[in-house]
Amino acid sequence: MPLRSSVTIVVSPRPRVGKTLLARMLVDFHLHEGREVAAFDLNQGDGTLAQFLPERTTSAGVVDVAGQIALFDRLVADDGVAKVIDLGNESFASFFAVAEQLGFIEEASKHEIVTAILFVLTPDASSVEAYGTLNKRFAGALLSPVHNEILGPAPHRGKYPLGRGALLLRMPLLAPGLRKYIAKAPFSFADTGADSGIPADFGVELQHWRRRMHIECRELMLRLLLADLSAAIRFVS
Amino acid sequence: MARPAVILIGADKGGVGKTTVARTLLDYFGAHQIPTRAFDTESPRGTLKRFHPDVTEVVDVTAVPDQMKIFDTLSSSQAWVTVIDVRAGLLSSTLQALSDIGFLESAKKGQITFAVFHILGPSIASLDEISETARFVGDANYFLVKNFINNTTFFEWDPETYNSYFKRIKNAIEVTIPKLNEMACEQVELAGTPFVTFVGNKTLNGEPANNSFVLRGYVRHWLGNVWAEYDRSKLIDIIMPKIESGSARQAAG
């Protein structure tokens, strides 16, 4: 895909909504597409992206200036590497405060990098409000709502005013028996062969789920490409 | 012809950030496309000269030839604004010299716009200078600048004492320079460029630089806040009164 370069930020102000799983899938998708990818983990505790994909992931923070430089200067670097950020809920506010003050989205687009914010939808009022705020404050980014089916059939319905053309990314429900296999870090979705310890029928099921996720990711990348193109067209005219 | 404006930046104490304030002013006037020149009195080697070499000349403000260089050229210079960074300890004597050559008189008559930026230090001692300088600058536009750039714990004096000094100068304008992150501050020092050049990620020669995006962001945000202070104090209106600047533009065109 002729996409120049992308930064995808997986967010929610709530814990335990599937952010890390989605971030893992995004990394897997980029690798599957033959793209270079770097992941950044802003989480504490267990089951973090850095534990699942230690070779691809940098633990990051935005509390001090040194951490901000390590993260944001990497994000806007002209290295052609796709970047995925797993933004823990405890860093949600501070990350976006810093990003706004620095003018991150604008700087990224100067470097021909498009930014997507993947927001995992939950029915609570604080999430609805945070979504609205991001929509206003980061107009230059593609804000894409995510429905994680494990959170219920449609936790967002009637609560999130999804604009026309907004892409709702769906995370299909994973068969219950499969979860234990993918919840043990480190784990790569690309590596589910016979020696991975996953029974053959589960392996097939997992690959099926992975493919559905890839379709969703591809759709997202297409939206990013379109957003990028339409911005370029506006610029020319 | 525009009425020339002179801005004196001083403090009787060193290390309170005069040059930093001078640099923000040069950037500010640059952003408003106001032709400006600067004199650095840190003779023989000036800090201001290092950051703004194009517009800065190093002078000894106490020597007559250099006084001529500054004040005899006010009307003939291309620059509308002259910024003078007065070395620590020379504010009172510079004002005395300006009084002696009749400069303050011209300012009183309205032939020259004159402003003083008095950078305050964190100790009570530097407040004594206010009364000292007050007697010279009755009609000057007097800016009292609290410089927090390197400092979080700044003024620890009793507000009553502060106000009693502050009131000695009629119509003094209070300006606050907010704190700039140390690392950002240090990087601009190392780069040796104007703040706006650092933000624009360029070197002094206009080549692309490799400054940290995060630190550029900090400097941009900080400089925006400093300029907002200058906007708030209506600095442009003071140095270029509306009618004057209108006729000046005609003359220039």
pLDDT of residue A23: 97
> In this structure, is residue A154 part of a structural domain?
yes
Instruction: For B171, list phi and psi in degrees, rounded to 5.
Output: 60, 25
* CB spacing of B214 vs A69 below 8 angstroms: yes
Give yes or no for B213 touching A (CB within 8 A).
Answer: yes
A81, A6 Cβ separation under 8 angstroms: no
The dihedral built from the CA positions of residue B117, B123, B124 and B129, taken in this order, carries a sign that is negative
> In this structure, is residue B76 part of a structural domain?
yes
In the structure encoding, which two tokens stand for residue B178, read together? Answer: 């907010």
> In this structure, is residue B24 part of a structural domain?
yes
pLDDT of residue B129: 65
Give yes or no for A63 touching B (CB within 8 A).
Answer: no
Residue B168 confidence (pLDDT) above 50: yes
Picking from A76, A102, A104, A110 by the largest number of B CB atoms within 10 A of its own CB, the best residue to mutate is A102
> In this structure, is residue B242 part of a structural domain?
yes
Give yes or no for B217 touching A (CB within 8 A).
Answer: yes
pLDDT of residue A165: 58
Residue numbers of the domain that contains A202: 6-236
Give yes or no for A64 touching B (CB within 8 A).
Answer: no
Residue numbers of the domain that contains B157: 5-180+235-252
Q: Where are the beta strands (DSSP E) in B42-198?
A: 56-58, 81-85, 113-120, 141-147, 173-177
The residues facing A86 across adjacent strands are A10, A41
pLDDT of residue B65: 92
Give yes or no for A97 touching B (CB within 8 A).
Answer: no
In the structure encoding, which two tokens stand for residue B58, read together? Answer: 């190093």
Q: Which of A76-85, B158-167, B168-177 has the lowest mean pLDDT?
A: B158-167
* CB spacing of A102 vs B184 below 8 angstroms: no
Q: Tell me: the pLDDT tens digits for B117-156?
A: 988 876 655 566 666 777 777 667 889 888 888 765 555 6
Q: Residue type for A64, please?
A: D
Q: CA of B123, closest CA in chain A: separation in Å?
A: 29
Kindly list the residues from chain A whose CB atom is less than 8 angstroms away from the CB atom of residue B215: 65, 69
Of A116, A114, A164, A120, residue with least CA distance to A145: A120
> In this structure, is residue B206 part of a structural domain?
no
Instruction: For A74, list phi and psi in degrees, rounded to 5.
Output: -70, -45
Whichever domain contains A79, its CATH number is 3.40.50.300
Q: Is B113 helix (H, G, I), strand (E, B) or coil?
A: strand
Q: Cβ neighbours of residue B127 under 8 Å, at least 6 residues apart?
A: B120, B157, B161, B162, B165
> In this structure, is residue A224 part of a structural domain?
yes
> In this structure, is residue A1 part of a structural domain?
no
Q: What is the maximum span of chain A, computed from C-alpha positions, in angstroms?
A: 56
pTM, full prediction: 0.86
Of B226, B217, B181, residue with least CA distance to B199: B217
Low-confidence ranges of chain A (pLDDT < 50): 1-2
pLDDT of residue A161: 76
pLDDT of residue B207: 95
Give the whole-angstrom CA distance, residue B63 versus residue B49. Answer: 19
> In this structure, is residue B25 part of a structural domain?
yes
Q: Which residue of B has its CA nearest to A68?
A: B214
Number of domains in chain A: 1
Give the whole-angstrom CA distance, residue B66 versus residue A4. Answer: 57
Give the whole-angstrom CA distance, residue B4 versus residue B120. Answer: 26
Of residues B14 and B75, more confidently modeled: B75
Give the whole-angstrom CA distance, residue A97 versus residue A94. Answer: 5
Picking from B186, B199, B213 by the largest number of A CB atoms within 10 A of its own CB, the best residue to mutate is B213
Give the whole-angstrom CA distance, residue B78 versus residue B1. Answer: 11
Of A46, A95, A39, residue with least CA distance to A67: A95
> In this structure, is residue B113 part of a structural domain?
yes
pLDDT of residue A185: 85
> In this structure, is residue B41 part of a structural domain?
yes
Give the whole-angstrom CA distance, residue B136 versus residue B113. Answer: 15
Number of domains in chain B: 1
Give the whole-angstrom CA distance, residue B7 versus residue B116. Answer: 6
A53: burial class by Cβ within 10 Å (0-12, 13-18, 19+)?
buried
Residue B248 confidence (pLDDT) above 80: no
Among partner residues B215, B220, B221, which is closest to A69 by beta-carbon distance? B215
| Residue B203 vs residues A116, B31, B52, B191: alpha-carbon distances, Å | 32, 18, 12, 7
> In this structure, is residue B42 part of a structural domain?
yes
Q: Residue type for A36, please?
A: E
pLDDT of residue B45: 76
Whichever domain contains B145, its CATH number is 3.40.50.300
Percent of chain B with pLDDT over 70: 83
* CB spacing of B213 vs A65 below 8 angstroms: no
Average pLDDT over chain B reads 84
Give yes or no for B183 touching A (CB within 8 A).
Answer: yes
Give the whole-angstrom CA distance, residue A88 versus residue A74. Answer: 19
pLDDT of residue B92: 80
Q: Tell me: the pLDDT tens digits for B32-87?
A: 999 999 999 887 777 899 999 999 999 988 889 998 999 999 888 889 999 999 98
Neighbouring CB atoms inside 10 A of A215's CB total: 12
Q: Residue type for A158, please?
A: G
Q: CA of A168, closest CA in chain B: separation in Å?
A: 32
pLDDT of residue A1: 39
